[in-house]
Amino acid sequence: MKIRSKLAYLFAVIVASLLLGFSIGIYYLSDGYRKNEFSERLREKAVTTARLLFEANEQISPQTLKLINDQDVSVLDNEDITVYDENGTIIYKNNSEPQSINRKILSKLNKKNELLLREGDREIIYFQQKEKNKTITVIVSAIDTYGITKLNFLMVILFFGWALSVIIIIITGWIFAGNALAPISDVIHQVEQIDFSTLDKRVKAGNEKDEIAQLAETFNRMLVRLQKSFYIQKSFVANASHELRTPLTIIRGQVEVALMHQRNSEEYKSILNSVLEDVKEMSELANELLDMAQASSDISTLPFKTARIDELILQAKSDLIKKKSNYNIVVNFIEAPDDEKFFELNVDERLLKNAFINLMENGCKFSSDHQVQVNIFFREKNIFLKFSDKGIGISNADLQFIFEPFFRSENVKSFPGHGIGLPLTKKIIDLHGGEIEIESVLKEGTTFSILLPRADDLVEDTYSKPLEM
């Protein structure tokens, strides 16, 4: 069921039930009032009859009473009066058919001198009066034709009034629900117009204060995030293609030049060596891109296991030295504890080792002494690492872009690289629940500080701990 129908239906049911309750209440109150009023009239009749017969029975005979009664303008519809004396003898009746009285009623009358009963449409009052050893019982009954007709008329009015109101409520409820929900339909229509090529569109909603405007605002914020990540992805693919195309163009040029005419083996060897360099660079970039994709994937799919920080750092060092033998990586374990638990981390070994290699390689690459200092500190809840070099440094303006893929500072254009290593390193550290910070001064050096949660520690504890330099 659509919200519009649901609202209209609910509204109609609630108001119709209220009106029905109200109408039933009015009907029963009116009926009660009619009954009271009619009983009062019956009582008056009974009391008057008793008074005339009993108190003044010396002067008024039953015949005279009948005469008086027949002349009475307040005579009730279908009125029957029967009067009994204490012996059960009828002393007066206004009708050929006298009304009977049974023992049960008599015993009730002994306790209470008045009793009201109803038989079909006929209402009856039994009234007993005792005086000077004499008791008379007056039975007056009549039909409240006028009151019942009025009541039936009221019932018809209430029923048709209720039915008409229900119809009006359903129609107005449907219209109001439609009006109230119109902005939602409008938002749905606007959202349907947005696809990946029109992510710059924004949803507009009504008075900009209500819940629908808030929904549109939330949706717009999501669009901004989507647009941003879509842009990042697009530029990432464009940059990656560009970085791969450059060495491919160089390789192609070298091969074409080599094939132009016959060369001696020395020349072929030098060309092949140059091609090999470019291929190595390409394969490094491809590996970094693959790592980037992996580090962006679902954490549960990665092979996390417990590893020792000292082994990871030393492996990273030896892998880098194998590649660049002129690099000098100085590793210091500061106040290393005896308990080996302090060395353990829960990691994807390959990714974290690559992150360390990136930091070591950058430190050596961007400093004239090709040296990087790695200091490892052991804390109760985490392991803290510092990678420091005395290299070219990073300007303050560039620090904010340093973790963006393919970003490279102006002062490193003469160095080889693609600008993927650092963003990848940050992604890997994030993936391990760690933090990374940079401190750098141009032409003096750079320090990368990393905080990693220990294997046996709760991740939350580490997140809450500020990074101390």
Nearer to ligand ADP, 129 or 440 (CB): 440
Nearer to ligand ADP, 394 or 451 (CB): 394
108 vs 98: CA distance, rounded Å? 20
Q: Which of residues 399-418 bind ligand ADP (CB under 6 A)?
A: 402, 408-409, 412, 417-418
Nearer to ligand ADP, 176 or 407 (CB): 407
Minimum CB–partner distance for residue 278 and ligand ADP (Å): 15
191 vs 366: CA distance, rounded Å? 49
Nearer to ligand ADP, 327 or 366 (CB): 366
Size of the site for ligand ADP (CB under 6 A): 20
Residue nearest to ligand ADP (CB): 417
Nearer to ligand ADP, 34 or 408 (CB): 408
Q: Which long-range contacts (CB under 8 A, 24 or more apart) does 412-420 make?
A: 412/366, 415/365, 415/366, 416/281, 416/365, 417/365, 418/243, 418/285, 418/288, 420/243, 420/285, 420/288, 420/289, 420/292
Q: Is 247 in the site for ligand ADP (CB under 6 A)?
A: no
Pairing relation of β-strands 134-143 and 80-85?
antiparallel
Q: Which of residues 343-402 bind ligand ADP (CB under 6 A)?
A: 358, 362-363, 366, 389, 391-394, 402
268 vs 123: CA distance, rounded Å? 129
Q: Which of residues 77-106 bind ligand ADP (CB under 6 A)?
A: none
4 vs 24: CA distance, rounded Å? 30
Which of 371, 283, 358 has its CA nearest to residue 319? 358
Which of 50, 54, 44 has its CA nearest to residue 74? 44
Q: Find where tokens 């390959």 sit.
A: 350
Site string for ligand ADP, 306-345 (x = CB under 6 A): ----------------------------------------
Nearer to ligand ADP, 23 or 409 (CB): 409
Which of 315, 308, 311, 374 has its CA nearest to residue 341? 308
Minimum CB–partner distance for residue 415 and ligand ADP (Å): 7
Minimum CB–partner distance for residue 369 and ligand ADP (Å): 13
Instruction: Report DSSP state, residue 338.
Output: S
| Footprint on this chain of ligand ADP (rule: CB under 6 A) | 358, 362-363, 366, 389, 391-394, 402, 408-409, 412, 417-422, 446
